[in-house]
Amino acid sequence: MAKLDDILLHVIGDVDGALGCAVVDLSNGLLLSVAHSVPYFTQSYLEAVAAAAVDMFRGKKVSSIEALLAAQRGTPVENAITEIQMSTDGTFHFMAIVRDKPHILVVLITSRKTNLGMGWVAVRTNLGKIGELCP
């Protein structure tokens, strides 16, 4: 998926402080594409981050809460979480679901010097392009 890789490289090149960007299949936890500029982002590290993202969006506890909300509202159970922003001591993580492909997640990791608005703009403006290239 060279084109998907190109989009992710473009994202990290455009965002000041970007460390890496990945596309994760939430149905199985697989990394579909990754671009990064950090030597310690090893394959096992990236897979652990992908697994944590899957848990945040589709984990048992999240699914239980979504089922409770659906029961209270009398609506069908659905994956209600579409975006998450997470901060660590040194990084920001921007995570968003591709609208027409709710099993596809985009994750952008930046340093804390990154403007939050610019991080979200980079993720959101590329969701459609990423979605077109994902199964």
DSSP letter at 74?
A: T
Top-confidence residue, 80 or 83: 83
Given a contact cutoff of 8 angstroms between Cβ atoms, the answer to whether 90 and 112 are in contact is yes
Q: In the structure encoding, which two tokens stand for residue 132, read together?
A: 């077109």
Q: How far is CA 21 from CA 55, 65, 118, 127, 133, in A?
A: 18, 28, 14, 12, 15
Task: Report the 3 state secondary structure along 89-108.
Answer: CCEEEEEEEECCEEEEEEEE
Mean pLDDT score of the chain, rounded to an integer?
94
Domains of the chain: 2-133 (3.30.450.30)
Spatial separation of the C-alpha atoms in residues 103 and 90, rounded to whole Å: 28
Return phi, psi of residue 125, to 5°: -75, -15
What pTM does this model have?
Answer: 0.92
Q: Residue 86 above 60 pLDDT? A: yes
Starting at the edge strand found earlier in the chain, the sheet holding 31-36 runs 31-36, 18-25, 101-111, 91-98, 83-87
For range 38-66, the mean pLDDT: 93
Q: Residue 19 above 90 pLDDT? A: yes
